């Protein structure tokens, strides 16, 4: 099905031009195509204004159904298809934009209906309008299997200290800029930064998730994958400080140093 046919099924308001949603995010309907098989998958997702502007992070890497870059977390027919043919075989095309997630899901429901799911040319395994399917709960082949206390303790003892900080294969590399002198340091994980600064690691993760903002009234922390160059990060720092309710204190502390 071509893009015109897909959009003709959408009954809710949308725009073909990038438009920021009511919640400060871009809500996007996309289509992915496997270059090897020609099969199609349609879905919706949301990205922050920061990621959209830099064309990095989730905006750059998302391929649908929870697939972000080389990370394929869900166990669905679409994810199995991507694993079989390779992430490099999948091409995403952003089609239209919506004012919020509710409208985006309604549009997905319009497009990914029963007929769409039953078509041999498409990879969606369930009708749209809800969260992507996963093999969780009763759908998981291990549902109903429980470990006894000895098994739980043995597993816990094996894992203690094994994946702390940069040892964790899923650790998030970050770049930190000091608002006092614009010096920058790269950290292999949020835990490494938190340990050095003596702050709570969950607070660091929250700042990154909700960012960009000046954390602890001093530091700008972003994902390494979102970092472009120092000049751009300084511009981002100054922009964030101007919007911060602590800007007077930040400027005063900067003068002291």
CA pair distance 72, 94, nearest whole angstrom: 20
Altogether, the residues listed in the chain come to a count of 257
Among 254, 220, 252, 215, smallest CA distance to 237 is for 220
Give the model confidence (pLDDT) of 96-135 as tens digits. Answer: 999 999 999 999 999 999 999 999 999 998 999 986 655 5
Specify burial of residue 53 (Cβ count, 10 A radius: 0-12, 13-18, 19+): middle
Q: What is the distance between the alpha carbons of residues 146 and 204, in angstroms, rounded to a whole number?
A: 34
Residue 70 neighbours by CB under 8 Å, 6+ apart: 87
Instruction: Write phi, then psi, for 148 (nearest 5 degrees).
Output: -80, 175
pTM summary value: 0.55
Instruction: Determine the straight-line distance between the first and last CA of the chain, rounded to whole angstroms.
Output: 61
Provide the token pair at 74.
């869900």
When pLDDT is cut at 50, 70 and 90, the band that residue 164 belongs to is: low
Q: What is the pLDDT of residue 168?
A: 65
State the pLDDT at residue 170.
61
Q: Which residues pair with 178 in a beta bridge?
A: 219
Q: How do residues 10-54 score in pLDDT, each as one tens digit? A: 999 999 999 999 999 999 999 999 999 999 999 999 999 988 988
């Amino acid at each position: 099905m071509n893009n015109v046919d897909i959009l003709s099924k959408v009954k809710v308001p949308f725009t073909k031009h990038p438009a920021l949603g009511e919640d400060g995010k871009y809500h996007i309907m996309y289509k992915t195509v496997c270059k090897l098989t020609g099969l199609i998958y349609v879905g919706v997702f949301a990205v922050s204004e920061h990621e959209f502007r830099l064309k990095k992070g989730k905006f750059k890497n998302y391929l649908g159904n929870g697939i972000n870059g080389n990370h394929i977390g869900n166990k669905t027919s679409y994810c199995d298809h991507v694993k079989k043919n390779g992430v490099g075989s999948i091409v995403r095309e952003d089609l239209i934009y919506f004012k919020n997630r509710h409208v985006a899901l309604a549009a997905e429901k319009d497009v990914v209906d029963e007929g769409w799911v039953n078509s041999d040319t498409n990879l969606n395994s369930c009708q749209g309008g809800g969260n992507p399917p996963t093999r969780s709960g009763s759908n998981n082949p291990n549902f109903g299997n429980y470990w006894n206390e000895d098994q739980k303790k043995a597993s816990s003892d094996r894992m203690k200290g094994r994946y702390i900080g940069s040892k964790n294969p899923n650790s998030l590399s970050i770049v930190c800029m000091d608002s006092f002198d614009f010096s920058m340091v790269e950290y292999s994980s949020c835990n490494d930064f938190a340990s050095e600064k003596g702050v709570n690691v969950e607070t660091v993760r929250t700042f990154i998730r909700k960012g960009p903002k000046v954390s602890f009234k001093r530091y700008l922390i972003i994902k390494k994958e979102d970092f472009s160059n120092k000049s751009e990060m300084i511009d981002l720092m100054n922009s964030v400080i101007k919007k911060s309710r602590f800007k007077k204190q930040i400027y005063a502390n900067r003068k002291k140093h």
